[in-house]
Homo-oligomer: A and B are copies of this chain.
Amino acid sequence: MLPTPKKFFITAGSAEGKNHLNAFDNALMEAKIGNLNLMRVSSILPPGVEYCPQMEIPPGSLVPTAYGYIISDVPGEMISAAVGAGFSKDTFGVIMEFSGRCGKDQAEKAIKSMLEEAFATRGMELAGIKMASTEHQVETIGCALAAVPLWY
């Protein structure tokens, strides 16, 4: 089997780019995960996972990551992305991502409500939340991205 991740951190970043993919790449760089091979997952914090905010991961590593992002080419538009890790007391947690044409306050509010629903669905108590968010006013082509990389 694929080994279950043991660590995580939370990050967010926004950037401009000359095109959609470079804007995404530049936002990854702002979030300090631009030199990794992100493999998108949906989106559970494994039981016993450890929060490691200063983790260094070698470039090119395959990194299971839950993320949300938005790219806009509408100058002046406000975009944002947020991600939240919701913890239980003694078992796994849940990760929720949000992105939209709004500010980061609204994005964070959405994440909180999404995590509450995710825990209610599972009949679990939401013991705590860690969140990262970013907002960005588009100049030409902008991207806002928030991510929870999982690691070992």
CA distance A98 to B18 in the complex (A): 13
CB distance B117 to A37 under 8 Å? Answer: no
A43 at interface by CB-CB < 8 Å:
yes
CA distance A114 to B17 in the complex (A): 9
A62 at interface by CB-CB < 8 Å:
yes
CB distance B38 to A5 under 8 Å? Answer: no
CB distance B121 to A5 under 8 Å? Answer: no
- Give the bracket for the number of chain A residues in contact with chain B: 35 or more
CA distance A118 to B25 in the complex (A): 7
Cβ contact of A118, chosen from B5, B22, B152, cutoff 8 A: B22
Interface string of A6-47 (1 = CB under 8 A from B): 000000000001110110111011000011111111111111
A151 at interface by CB-CB < 8 Å:
yes
CB distance A44 to B49 under 8 Å? Answer: no
Pull 28 A–B residue pairs with CB atoms less than 8 Å apart, ordered by A.
A1-B62, A4-B61, A5-B37, A5-B60, A18-B114, A18-B117, A19-B113, A19-B117, A21-B96, A21-B114, A22-B114, A22-B121, A25-B117, A25-B118, A28-B42, A29-B122, A34-B121, A35-B122, A36-B44, A37-B44, A37-B46, A37-B64, A39-B40, A39-B64, A41-B62, A44-B59, A47-B59, A62-B64
